[in-house]
Amino acid sequence: MKSIVILISGRGSNLRSLVQACAAQAWPARIAAVVSNRPDAAGLEFARECGIATRIVNHREFATREAFDAALAETIASYAPDILALAGFMRILGADFVRRFAGRIVNIHPSLLPAFTGLHTHQRALQAGCKVAGATVHFVTHEVDHGPIIAQAVVPVLPDDTEETLAQRVLAREHLIYPMALAWLVRDALYIENGSVRVATGEAQWLL
């Protein structure tokens, strides 16, 4: 059975979707811990209610990013994770951290990567006049919001959309594709070929 550690910084809406999918779909995995860089992250209380171990590594208590990364890595390593899932984790992870957990870190980003890396993705999509937007699950590399893409979901951009309405529709899709991607991971159904992620033959793939 695989061990999953989930990193959050806020309310934990994707955390909820992953915990619920793990239980409902009987994944061959357990969520060993939820770790946050913010002691006030609302998702921590949800994790505790579900009986999941929680840890806080407050980035404000460290003088440098490298020191924070090192403490975070040691905390995570204590759970021996097979998969490290970033679910609204709002800190950039350094190259040493990424190397330590290479091939095991995944992230969900609220845009159709490689478009709109970084912050304010919905605002930028609207300003650019995009006709579609969406979300991406990808492996994490040392380059922020890059790495082989595992899954994407698309939503239309409507004429009267605001950042808030677009964000809500994208988030609903995030809650579908992130559990799907992690289900593939825990079943060893993913492999990388020539820099692209492939899903093993026979795996169900949703039309999104």
Active site amino acids:
109
Q: Half-sphere exposure of 134 toward its Cβ, with a 13 Å CA cutoff?
A: 18
Parallel/antiparallel/unpaired status of strands 190-193 and 196-199: antiparallel
Return d(Cα 78, Cα 88) in angstroms, integer. Answer: 22
Alpha carbon separation from 5 to 84, 106, 150 (Å, rounded): 5, 11, 18
Residue type, position 71, single letter: A
Return d(Cα 104, Cα 106) in angstroms, integer. Answer: 7
Closest CA to 144 of 174, 123, 176, 121: 121
Beta bridge partners of 153: 135
Return d(Cα 79, Cα 97) in angstroms, integer. Answer: 15
Closest CA to 199 of 187, 185, 189, 186: 189
Return d(Cα 134, Cα 152) in angstroms, integer. Answer: 7
